Amino acid sequence: MNSEREPEKKVTMKRQEAYYNNRPNIGTKGPSKLRQQFAKGMTFFLVVAASIIFYFALLRLPHISDAFATTVGVLKPILYGFAIAYLLNPIVKKVDLYMVPFLDKRMKNKKKVRTISRTAGVLASLIVLILVIVALCNMLIPELYKSIRNLVFTLPGQLNDWVNALNGMEISDSTMSSLLKTIVNEGTDMFQKWLRTDLLNIANEWMSTLTVGVINVFSELFDLLIGVIVSVYVLFSKETFMRQSKKAVYAFLSAHNANLVLHFTRKSNEIFGGFIIGKIIDSVIIGVLCFVGLSLLKMPYTLLVSVIVGVTNVIPFFGPYIGAIPSAILILLADPMKGVYFIIFILILQQLDGNFIGPKILGNSTGLSAFWVIFAILLGGGLFGFAGMLLGVPTFAVIYYVVQMLVNNRLEKKALPVQSGYYDEYSYVDDSGSYVSSREQVDQMDTEQEPGTDREPGEKENVEEKGE
């Protein structure tokens, strides 16, 4: 008997081990009635608790913002790393695009092919980054030092020459001319006094806080260095991060909502990548063209002005003016006529960029009209400064795309057209929910018109064209 029961015991033990070793199914049974009643009460409790927490969060908003700022400061190297990796990713992808097929023909180990290609892509992107930083430092720092030094030594003399030229001009002895001369003399004296006294005091204050400033600069440089290291790990593991994120989205959301989130993520990456990378390339081209043009015109501060114009051109719409105004003032102080030539040159260059270079590189990457671009820049700049002006346009473009998709989805459910061109002045939706185009409305108005009513020749056609 015992010998017969031993196999049965072994089978039972194996079943128990398999039951506990296998992954259990979570939430397969429906909730009980007690649990349903408890869930209703818990819902009311959570709503009340969330309202109370939200109220106290508003009262403690400064403390919450300070905690958020501290967290961002701690995670700054990680944020720098993700940003650098995002900018270097196109170079890595381009290297993989050409190197992987080349190595596949010569190597059988696919994993080794991917590793070699990714290593080459990351090294190439880091070399490009280092070359850009070194080139900017070599171009900008000496030119900036020379420009500031020339301003300090030549600006007072230039102001005196201007005042003497104004005083030597033959102006009618009117009250307005005397007032103008007085304003120029007083303004010049005040500015020169500020250069000799107040500027020196400000420089002394800057020197007293120089230690803190140097520490902050080195801290930011250290964070950037760590960010570069983090970006290397991100570029090597970007496929793993993508798969893990996709897995988590499908785990916690329904299939429909998960697909929506993934679609929005892909569209956001398309908008941000197309806009930022394209704008950087466009700004580099504008900076080089500005340098070539100013060199041919023999302008002062050529390299410094070209860098300023190229960097500020990254900001849409307002960027060219932000860079051109201080550059024009800088050249006007050195040579008024060359300052005028510079303004004309910048206007021509920006027209070239706005009508030819920019559309060729960027295309319609954001899908926003000029009004919404200005709106996004002003809102982003007012809230987040320079970063808001730069990222405000693609961020608003993503929001605009989401809202547009929701609106189109609601219209499709109502069997209405989604194109904005259908909703002109004369089209409408009747009480039954049917769309009536402008042409149908005009025809209806013609049939309802009383006989004998005077109509100018071609009036019907004009109304129809206006409706379309």
Torsion angles phi and psi, residue 213, rounded to 5: -65, -40
pLDDT at 452: 43
Which pLDDT score is estimated for 211? 60
Per-residue CA distances from 139 to 237, 315, 352, 431 (Å): 35, 21, 25, 68
The answer to whether 236 touches 92, Cβ cutoff 8 Å, is no
- For the segment 37-65, the average pLDDT, to the nearest whole number, is 79
pLDDT grade, residue 142 (50/70/90)? confident
pLDDT digits (tens, 9 = 90+) for 292-325: 888 888 888 788 888 888 888 888 777 777 888 8
Neighbours of 88 (CB within 10 A): 22
Q: Give residue 247's pLDDT.
A: 93
Report phi then psi at 436, rounded to 5.
Answer: -120, 120
Is 50 exceeded by the pLDDT of residue 462?
Answer: no
Predicted pLDDT of residue 34: 64
Q: What is the pLDDT of residue 166?
A: 58
Please say if the pLDDT value at position 178 is more than 60.
Answer: yes
Q: Read off the pLDDT band of 270 (50, 70, 90).
A: confident
Q: What are residue 429's DSSP bridge partners? A: 435
Most confident region among 39-48, 110-119, 163-172, 450-459 by mean pLDDT: 110-119
Question: pLDDT by residue (tens digit) across 115-138?
Answer: 888 899 999 999 998 998 888 788
Q: What is the pLDDT of residues 384-397, one digit of tens each?
A: 877 788 788 888 88
Write down the mean pLDDT value for the chain.
76
User: Which pLDDT value is given to residue 198?
Assistant: 63
Mean pLDDT in residue range 106-113: 83
Region 393-422 average pLDDT: 86
Residue 451 has phi, psi (to 5 degrees) of -65, 145
- Cα angle for residues 169, 171, 177 (degrees, 5° grid): 115
pLDDT at 269: 87
In the predicted model, is pLDDT for residue 463 greater than 60? no
pLDDT in tens, 20-29: 555 555 555 5
Closest-CA residue to 333 (of 186, 182, 191)? 191
Residues in the chain, total: 468
Q: What is the pTM of this model?
A: 0.66
- What is the rounded distance in angstroms from the CA atom of residue 110 to the CA atom of residue 106? 10
Mean pLDDT of 423-431: 81
> Does residue 334 surpass a pLDDT of 70?
yes
pLDDT confidence of residue 243: 92
What CA–CA distances, in Å, run from 66 to 63, 69, 71, 72, 208?
Answer: 5, 5, 9, 10, 27
Give the model's pLDDT for residue 30: 54
Q: How confident is the model at residue 466 (pLDDT cuts 50, 70, 90)?
A: very low
Whether residue 188 has pLDDT greater than 70: no
pLDDT in the model for residue 378: 84
Q: What pLDDT is recorded for position 192? A: 64
In contact, 231 and 82? CB cutoff 8 Å = yes
The answer to whether residue 219 scores a pLDDT higher than 60 is: yes
Closest among 360, 426, 434, 372 to 404, alpha carbons compared: 372
Q: How far apart are CA 210 and CA 451, in angstroms?
A: 89
| Residues in contact with 295: Cβ distance below 8 Å, sequence separation at least 6, in sequence order | 302
